[in-house]
Structure 1
Amino acid sequence: MRYYLRKLAFYLVALWAAVTLNFFIPRMMPGDPVDILMAKLQQRGSGVDPSARRAYELLLGTDSDEPLFRQYLSYLGNLVRGDFGISVSDFPTPVSTVIATSLPWTVALVGIATVLAVLFGITLGVFVGWRRGTWLDSLVPATTVLSAVPYFWLALILVAVLGSALGWFPLLGGYDVVLTPGWNADFLGSALYHGVLPALTIVVSSVGGWLLGTRNMMVSAMAEDYVLTARAKGLREGRVMIWYAARNAVLPSVAGFAISLGFVVAGSIVTEQVFAYPGIGSKLLQAVQNNDYALMQAIFLVITVAVLAANLAVDLLYGIIDPRTRTGG
């Protein structure tokens, strides 16, 4: 029990530290979101009264007359209430609405693609490691080369070949613009069709790392005494491979999967820009370009909570799978 309480306390402190950094770092960046908003309103032909600046500062939570510590306390209070403020990039849309409309796209695309890459990589790594020295080992250099290829370059190649030259898949967007978003077969089919190329980019560029890591762990596990003992008992090869070698070889991949969740949104920024995909990565880039403090903070908070929750779940799961991790608890 002490092990689990200690882990929970550690992640709560990490969450507080991340939330604090999330508040201060955007405010250290040059530029003022209020100036950007007023300039955008003027470009649209709207006459902006200079006296309205104070109202916009209060609305966006960047009151220059309020001490920074008071702003920090107000920020924490708003987080508890689920109030993330107003987005400058999509003014006057609330940040919570912007995230609610864009996050499902990224979770569906990058999340599912990451899970597929992990499953394919681990499965191939188990078989390649078990059959080391055979022709299956020739797969490893090819997949590691693909892992070294930059995201955007691979995405552009897939767009040029599968999208432009062959015309198998659409080049841009997340769905057919003539359709109305909703839970219906036409829209879901269109979203799935438009997501093939971005998902393929993520899977192809990620699967090699998982394959190589699992393959090396399998080779190491096969030299362990428990595998040699299982073989000496005359157990079937399939059982030895799965229940003895693979069961221990994939443990590091479990932790690696949680860490990789931190790169889901980071990697999606490039992918979504190439494919003009309406995910949260595009919103993050748009927020940085417009000094949209509120939207940046909310997106970073979503990333932080997701990564910390995944790592906490893995740590707790490790305590169940491998009791040695609880030693000293």
Structure 2
Amino acid sequence: MSRIGQAVFTLFVVLTISFFMYRLLPGGPIEAMREQLVQQAVSQGDQVDIERINHLVELRTGIQPDEPVWKQYLFYLRDIVVYQDFGQSIWQNKPVFDLLFKAMPWSVFISIYGLLLGFVTNILLGSLMAYREGGHLDKSMSLVATILTSVPYYVAAILMLSVLAFGQGWFPTGGRYNHALTPGFTLPFMISVIRHAALPILTGFVVGFGGQALAMRGNSIRVMGEDYIRVAELRGLGEGRIASRYVMRNAILPLYTSLMIGIASIFSSSIIMEQLFSYPGVGWYTFGAIENRDFPLLMGIFLFFTTVTLIGVLIAEFTYGIIDPRATTGEREAY
């Protein structure tokens, strides 16, 4: 429970700092929104009604512009906790919660699948490279992994789009699914969803391929030199059991923690990915919110990224003992 309490406290601190940073910036979002509404009224030839403009700002952001900053913060916190109201998007003119609620599953879909696919492949490949250390497989895959790790994501995405989408026409060039189809659990719709998500997932897998494989290779080689591996061999344990129960289980520990924490970086990097592939997820809305200075939407997205990070850390802490029993028993021996 103490870890959950620490996570909630961290979320509260991040929310507080981000609110005051956004609000106190020169020419901040509230002032920008008010100025935009004033200009709209002037351009339409209407009389500028400050009270009405302040009321519109309050409706869209959940913040009363004429109140002190600390009161604005309390009202904003009340709306989030009590009413789950994150305000209204200036850019989309829709509630922030509704936008994120609809976009979140799509971002989770392409991000998690790409992350898990890459993680499992890299773990297996890294283990195989360690057991074939110095061989042709180890040398060739190490070279391939080094090259792919150094390729920027946007370069790989542009190449994928150019060759597989625009060139060969095997995959769609954008969107989440074919809008001519009716959404539902039907075979044509599910195939359309998979085809539209294939390139983002494949690009993430190709770019992420190799980094964890090299780390797993290095960890496995280090673990195979430990004394408890020699003890296990002297006990007559089979090679398969030693590889799975001793080598892989100990070598995977640092990568497991980085996997959980890396979930947040996957979502944050989706800003570039979703823009390139025109995939309307959380990253796509983030870019649009930055362009349009959409303060309510930016705050909601920032809280989403923070929450995902904290959940990843909590999952890592609660499940670490399953992978490494020493974390809960306090033992230092691995055999």
> Fold-level match, TM-score > 0.5?
yes
When residues 68 and 224 of structure 1 are mapped into structure 2, their CA distance, relative to the original with a 3 A threshold, is same
Higher relative contact order (CA 8 A, sep 6+): 1
Q: 2:74 corresponds to which residue?
A: 73
Change in 2 beyond 3 A, CA 1:41/1:201: farther
| Counterpart for residue 261 of structure 1 | 263
Using the TM superposition, give the Cα deviation of residue 8 of structure 1 relative to its aligned residue in structure 2, in angstroms: 3.2
1:235 Cα deviation from its structure 2 partner: 2.0
Distance 1:88 1:148, change over 3 A: same
Matched residue, 1:38? 37
Q: Is the 8 A contact 2:62 2:86 kept in 1?
A: no
In the alignment, is the contact (CA less than 8 A) between 2:177 and 2:193 conserved in 1? yes
Partner of 2:55: 55
Gaps of 5+ in 2: none
Distance between the aligned counterparts of 1:136 and 1:39, measured in 2? Answer: 67
1:105 equivalent in structure 2: 106
**Counterpart residue type for residue 105 of structure 1:** W
CA distance change for structure 1 residues 133 and 61 in 2, over 3 Å: closer, same or farther?
same
Task: Indicate the larger mover: 284-293 or 136-145.
Answer: 136-145
Write out aligned runs for 1:124-143 (5 A). Answer: 124-137=125-138, 138-143=140-145
The question of 1:24 aligning with 2:20 is answered: yes
Change (3 A) 1:136 1:28: farther
CA distance in 2 between partners of 1:158 and 1:64 (Å): 47
Aligned alpha-carbon RMSD (Å): 2.3
Structure 2 Cα separation of the partners of residues 54 and 24 of structure 1: 19
CA offsets per residue over residues 176-230 of structure 1, 9 Å max, x none?
1212333332222101101111111111111211111111110111011111111
Change (3 A) 1:179 1:31: farther
Alignment partners' CA distance in 2, 1:88 and 1:312: 33
The residue that corresponds to 1:8 in the other structure is 4
Q: Secondary structure at the match of 2:184?
A: coil
In 2, Cα distance between equivalents of 1:42 and 1:110: 42
Name the aligned partner's letter for residue 48 of structure 2: P
Distance 1:215 1:318 in 2: 21
Check whether the contact 2:62–2:79 (CA below 8 A) recurs between aligned residues: no
Aligned partner of 1:84 in structure 2 is 86
Paired residue type of 2:89? S
Amino acid in structure 2 at the alignment position of 1:309? I
Instruction: Please report the TM-score for the alignment, with normalisation by the length of structure 1.
Output: 0.90
Q: Distance in 2 between matches of 1:165 and 1:105?
A: 26
When the two structures are superposed, what TM-score results if normalisation uses the length of structure 2?
0.89
Task: Point out the more displaced range, 267-276 or 231-240.
Answer: 231-240
Residue pair 1:31, 1:291 contacting (<8 A) in 2 also = no
Confirm whether residue 183 of structure 1 aligns to residue 185 of structure 2: yes
User: 2: CA distance between counterparts of 1:36 and 1:183?
Assistant: 46
Question: How far off its partner does 1:42 sit?
Answer: 6.9
